[in-house]
């Protein structure tokens, strides 16, 4: 697939496989600007942006990442914008999908691109010894639910330094650390992510950046929903993670409790914890009581 007209300069620049981080961001910024200005009447323009985005990911990103992004771009239903009877809504949805993908690619480049060869070698060396970590990705607006999860997880025996939960003083980002740099380093480790999803979560750009970073690194994860969250939320349906994956809804009923038992068993396995069954039962009962209390407030 060749590169369409619209930006010969971009076409020339993305022919180089070894680009500096700043060069990649510059190209992505241009693609973002062009994708943002696309209209449903400009078939040639969006075809050009789509093709140049594909060319960028194939030539400027690592093989695994390039393959993943190319697959996502190919899944965009472009035909809905070229058929005689297409709807304006469908066409705008296609344009928005491309725009979100390019923004996510830029986020990946900003978080993970490495120019310095020595830094890259040091990074690869650091991966040889992976320590398991749990990361609770959440909105600060849902702190009451997050606090209940934190108490449950720590009660099982997970150490404070093995849990990243930014709403708690023992698990927050260390003073002086840059939040995205800290998350980048830790998400690169053997991380099990708990996504605490709500309308608040999908209204937060910071939360969506966390989700995108975890998706890029293919971290193992569990989805937990707040009781009021609508699974038909369009932002959820179009997000990076697998929306068909079964999650836990914090409704404090038997289904919730059974699912939390599965989560408990998974955490015990990941961290090789030795937990007395009676202690685990006590922790789970306390968690369920807290969720009931929060839901009734």
- Helix, strand, coil % in the chain, rounded to nearest 5: 60, 10, 30
Question: Quick check: 69 and 101 in contact, CB under 8 A?
Answer: yes
Phi, psi of 196, deg, nearest 5: -95, 95
Determine which one of 210, 262, 276, 289 is catalytic.
210
177 contacts: CB under 8 Å, gap ≥ 6: none
Q: Which residue has the tokens 């707040």?
A: 226
User: Is 210 a residue of the active site?
Assistant: yes
Report the distance separating Cα 128 and Cα 50, nearest Å: 37
Strand 132-137 relative to strand 220-225: parallel, antiparallel, unpaired?
unpaired
Name the helix (H) or strand (E) containing 224.
strand 220-225
Strand 220-225 relative to strand 190-197: parallel, antiparallel, unpaired?
parallel
Q: Which residue has the tokens 């209390």?
A: 293
Question: Quick check: 96 and 36 in contact, CB under 8 A?
Answer: no
Q: Quick one: angle between helices 143-155 and 254-271, nearest 10?
A: 50
Q: Which residue has the tokens 């108490």?
A: 151
Cα distance between the two ends of the chain: 57
Q: Annotated active-site positions, please?
A: 210
């Amino acid at each position: 697939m060749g590169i369409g007209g619209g930006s010969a300069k971009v076409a020339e620049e993305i022919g180089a496989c070894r680009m500096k981080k700043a060069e990649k961001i510059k190209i992505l910024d241009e693609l973002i600007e062009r994708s943002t200005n696309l209209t449903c009447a400009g078939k040639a323009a969006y075809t050009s942006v789509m093709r140049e985005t594909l060319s960028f990911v194939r030539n400027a990103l690592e093989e695994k990442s390039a393959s993943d992004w190319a697959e996502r771009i190919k899944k965009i239903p472009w035909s809905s914008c070229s058929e005689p009877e297409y709807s304006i809504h469908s066409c705008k949805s296609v344009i928005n999908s491309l725009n979100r993908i390019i923004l996510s690619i830029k986020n990946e480049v900003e978080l993970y691109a490495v120019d310095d060869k020595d830094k890259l070698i040091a990074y690869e060396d650091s991966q040889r010894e992976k320590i398991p970590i749990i990361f609770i990705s959440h909105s600060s607006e849902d702190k009451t639910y997050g606090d209940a999860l934190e108490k449950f997880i720590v009660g099982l025996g997970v150490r404070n330094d093995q849990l990243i939960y930014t709403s708690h003083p023992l698990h927050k980002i260390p003073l002086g650390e840059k939040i995205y740099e800290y998350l980048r380093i830790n998400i690169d480790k053997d991380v099990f992510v708990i996504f605490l999803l709500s309308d608040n979560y999908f209204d937060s750009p910071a939360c969506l950046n966390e989700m995108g970073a975890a998706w890029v690194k293919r971290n193992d994860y569990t989805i937990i929903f707040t009781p009021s969250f609508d699974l038909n939320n369009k932002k959820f349906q179009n997000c990076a993670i697998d929306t068909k994956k079964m999650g836990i809804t914090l409704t404090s009923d038997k289904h919730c409790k059974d699912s939390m038992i599965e989560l408990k068993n998974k955490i015990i396995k990941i961290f090789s914890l030795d937990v007395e069954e009676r202690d685990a039962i006590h922790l789970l009962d306390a968690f369920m009581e807290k969720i009931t209390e929060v839901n009734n407030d």
